[in-house]
Amino acid sequence: MLALYRSILYFYPAPYRAEYGDEMLEVLSEREAETRKKSALARAPSRAREASGLLYGALQEHLRRFRGAHDRGRFRFLFLGGRVAMRSEFRFPKATVGLMLVILAAVMFTIEKAKAISASIPHGNPPVGHILPSQLTILPTLLVALISAIGAGVIGWAILFALRRSGIQQLSEMNPSAGQRRGK
Amino acid sequence: MEVSEPVLLILLSLAERPRHGYAILQDTESMSDGRVRLSTGTLYGALARLLEDKWIERFKEQDRSRGRQAYRLTDEGRRNLQMEVSRLKRLARLGTLRVAEKGT
């Protein structure tokens, strides 16, 4: 049972574990000795409570570290900084560039391959029939162009917005908070 | 700092005398007639916060044979606990009055 508790302790942030880990294990072993005196039926709930208490505690510690709650009260504004810093999913890892190059190469290769296949097939396609005047109207074309432009704009804006949130803002808000946390 | 019932009981336990982790758990349980049964994870979460806010401090025990760490209330912690107890007294007085009042 203590081995299980010990493994749950690894879910705690390392500094916390270094500070309280041994003591907690000591208390847990005393609790376990107390639990062993109980009936087999009464043991399970008390062990479950200890295990879930540990898991919940680990979660709380991580959240506290994330929010920079060490400075609770005095540096309340850091709560916002902490939340912005959580948006790490918008950061591009270096591997993304490599992956994009691979995808680009694959697309180019596919296009070249398709060209080669189309060139190798004799021109057996039936000729295109007469184009009806109704298909030549310019309005639908303009409409499609307009919608495409809006779509591209929205996507571009979203990318820029994400980059701004993750890049500049994150840097400017994370550095002071990290500095203060280290300074503590 | 928000003083929840478990935190209040931990503080009251340390107000009497310095105690180590397991002794705090036993004391909080007996003070609340077995109603508040803290897990080790909850206890150390609270102790870490109280240490950070300097309400409690580590205390060197004479008997350190088992590698147990004792904690005691700081002066600031005692003052804060006193304020909290006064607040609860006021609340209890108000509660007594309000409960006694007949609804119209």
Half-sphere exposure of B47 (CA within 13 A, CB side): 28
> How is residue A5 written in tokens?
């508790």
Q: Where do the DSSP E strands lie in B1-104?
A: 19-20, 56-59, 70-73
Q: Report the mean per-residue pLDDT for chain B.
A: 90
Average confidence score pLDDT of chain A: 76
Does domain B5-100 correspond to CATH entry 3.55.50.30? Answer: no
Mean pLDDT of A162-174: 63
Of B1, B22, B52, the CB nearest to A27: B22
List, for residues B27-77, the tens digit of each pLDDT value.
Answer: 999 999 989 899 999 999 999 999 999 999 998 866 555 668 899 999 999
Contact A164/A172 with Cβ under 8 angstroms?
no
Domain ranges, ordered by start, for chain A: 2-67
Q: Tally A–B CB contacts below 8 A.
A: 60
Report yes or no on whether pTM surpasses 0.95.
no
**Residues of chain A positioned with their CB less than 8 A from the CB of B42:** 53, 56-57
pLDDT at A66 over 50: yes
Does the pLDDT at position A117 exceed 70?
A: yes
Q: What pLDDT does B96 receive? A: 94
Q: Using the predicted structure, report yes or no on whether residue A138 has a pLDDT greater than 90.
A: no
Q: Which residues contact A41 (CB under 8 A, 6 or more apart)?
A: none
Predicted-assembly ipTM surpassing the 0.95 threshold: no
A119: pLDDT confidence band, cut at 50, 70 and 90? Answer: confident
Averaged pLDDT for residues B1-5: 82
CB-CB contact of A33 with B25 (8 Å)? no
What is the DSSP code (8-state) at residue A165? I
3-class DSSP state of B68? coil
Return the bridge partners of B73, or none: B56
Instruction: Please give the pLDDT value at position A41.
Output: 86
Q: Which helix (H) or strand (E) holds B83?
A: helix B75-100
What is the predicted pLDDT for the residue at B51? 94
Nearest chain B residue to A12 by CA distance is B41
| DSSP-based three-state secondary structure for A131 | coil
Q: Are A16 and A70 in contact (CB under 8 A)?
A: no
Tell me the C-alpha distance between A58 and B45, whole Å. Answer: 9
pLDDT tens track for A80-102: 444 444 444 445 566 777 888 88
Do residues B84 and B18 make contact, with C-beta atoms less than 8 angstroms apart? no
* B38 and B6 Cβ atoms separated by less than 8 Å: yes
Average pLDDT over residues A19-25: 91
Q: Summarize the confidence of residues B15-19 as an average pLDDT.
A: 94
Q: What CA–CA distance (Å, rounded) separates A114 from A108? A: 10
Q: What is the pLDDT of residue A182?
A: 47
Six-digit token pair at A155? 């996507």
The span from the first CA to the last CA of chain B, in angstroms, equals: 38
- Specify whether the CB–CB gap between A59 and A66 falls below 8 A: no
β-bridge pairing B70-73 and B19-20: antiparallel
Q: Higher model confidence: residue A124 or residue A153?
A: A153
pLDDT at A45 over 80: yes
Pairwise CB contact (< 8 Å): B40 & A28 = yes
In this predicted structure, what is the pLDDT of residue A127? 65
Residue of chain A nearest B66, judged by CA positions: A26
How confident is the model at residue B71, as a pLDDT? 95
Instruction: Closest CB to B66: pick one of A26, A28, A56.
Output: A26
What local confidence, expressed as pLDDT, does residue B94 receive?
A: 95
Question: What is the rounded distance in angstroms from the CA atom of residue A154 to the CA atom of residue A159?
Answer: 9
